């Protein structure tokens, strides 16, 4: 049994012209219905956290601390509780943007070897998110995320090197994430990926949304007022005929579509699928 709640103050359900049931659709246990989480059904996989565009899902898992601890590891490694008692409860909350924030700076290893047997839906989700991130990393000329299996028997030739890698990996994990489980108490944590990404000063890439503004925009500011993550602002622009422009932050955008759904002049186009970003359920 897991305790999760949906903060209705952050949930998109009270916005007009927007329909969102991503948490309900993605849940493999069918534990979410009408924005209420059935604690007896929920297994804390975190997929609802991954797809929520406003960080409205609260849980006992402190994802912020878990990810921040990962950045301090050498090498960086992500493991679940099935692999290590000090790992994250489940890796299902990871998204391609979070993986990019980690892997674009330093090599990142992740053990998903238990996912298929434990939760096929999480395994499928991670496969697509890792693949999308690796494509972006390759395009940027950076090292791909390394998939590892810490209990895998070492081949004969690279025996010493692989044992050395896993020994250092497990040592780093034990030292650097000892407080992961301590953080995962009965206290409820709200995790908004946008806040964490900003704290890391993450550089953007084609994994993040893009916003196009057409000439029909009259800079009324409704989009800026409604945006849950404040990804849109209206600023002064002396070079523009209107004297204003729409400023957009891809890092803050979660592709919730509140802006495009409520623009009175249909002047906004949000690109997500072509960029390989946004929740895929």
The pLDDT score that the predictor gives to residue 86 is 83
Closest CA to 170 of 155, 151, 147: 151
106 pLDDT tier (thresholds 50, 70, 90): very high
The pLDDT score that the predictor gives to residue 49 is 97
Q: Is the confidence at residue 203, as pLDDT, over 80?
A: yes
The pLDDT score that the predictor gives to residue 162 is 54
Q: 154 and 50 in contact (C-beta within 8 Å)? A: no
Tokens linked to 260: 């495009």
pTM for the whole structure: 0.85
Kindly report which listed range (29-38, 63-72, 151-160, 198-207) carries the lowest average pLDDT score. 151-160
Q: Is the confidence at residue 176, as pLDDT, over 70?
A: no
Q: Is the confidence at residue 281, as pLDDT, over 50?
A: no
Q: Is the confidence at residue 153, as pLDDT, over 50?
A: no
DSSP string covering 112-149 = -TTHHHH-HHHHHHHHHHHHHHHHHHHHTT-PPPEE--
Q: How far apart are CA 207 and CA 50, in angstroms?
A: 15
pLDDT top residue among 86 and 144: 144
232 pLDDT tier (thresholds 50, 70, 90): very high
Q: Is the confidence at residue 2, as pLDDT, over 60?
A: yes
Proportion of the chain above pLDDT 90, given as a percent: 74
Q: Is the confidence at residue 182, as pLDDT, over 80?
A: no
The pLDDT score that the predictor gives to residue 280 is 36
Tokens linked to 194: 């946008």
How confident is the model over 125-142, as pLDDT tens digits?
999 999 999 999 999 999
**Given CA atoms 36, 40, 41, 45 in this order, what sign does their dihedral have?**
positive
User: Residue holding tokens 């309900």?
Assistant: 24
92 pLDDT tier (thresholds 50, 70, 90): very high
């Amino acid at each position: 049994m897991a305790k999760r709640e949906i903060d209705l103050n952050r949930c998109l359900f009270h916005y007009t012209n927007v329909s969102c049931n991503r948490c309900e659709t993605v849940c493999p246990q069918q534990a979410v219905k009408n924005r209420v989480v059935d604690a007896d059904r929920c297994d804390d996989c975190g997929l609802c956290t991954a797809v929520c565009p406003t960080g409205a899902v609260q849980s006992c898992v402190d994802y912020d601390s878990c990810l921040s601890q990962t950045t301090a590891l050498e090498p960086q490694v992500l493991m679940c509780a099935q692999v290590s008692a000090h790992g994250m409860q489940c890796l299902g909350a990871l998204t391609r943007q979070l993986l990019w924030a980690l892997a674009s700076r330093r090599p990142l290893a992740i053990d998903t070897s238990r996912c298929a047997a434990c939760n096929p839906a999480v395994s499928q989700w991670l496969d697509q998110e890792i693949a999308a991130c690796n494509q972006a990393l390759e395009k940027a000329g950076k090292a791909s995320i390394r998939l590892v299996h810490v209990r895998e028997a070492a081949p004969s030739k690279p025996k010493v090197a692989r044992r050395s890698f896993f020994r250092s990996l497990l040592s780093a994990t034990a030292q650097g994430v000892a407080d992961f489980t301590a953080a995962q108490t009965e206290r409820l944590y709200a995790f908004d990926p946008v806040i964490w990404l900003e704290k890391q000063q993450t550089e953007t890439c084609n994994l993040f949304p893009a916003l196009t503004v057409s000439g029909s925009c009259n800079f009324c500011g409704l989009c800026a007022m409604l945006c849950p993550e404040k990804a849109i602002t209206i600023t002064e622009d002396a070079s523009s005929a209107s004297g204003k422009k729409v400023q957009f932050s891809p890092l803050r955008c979660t592709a919730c579509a509140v802006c495009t759904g409520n623009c009175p002049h249909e002047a906004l186009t949000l690109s997500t699928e072509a960029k390989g970003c946004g929740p895929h359920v």
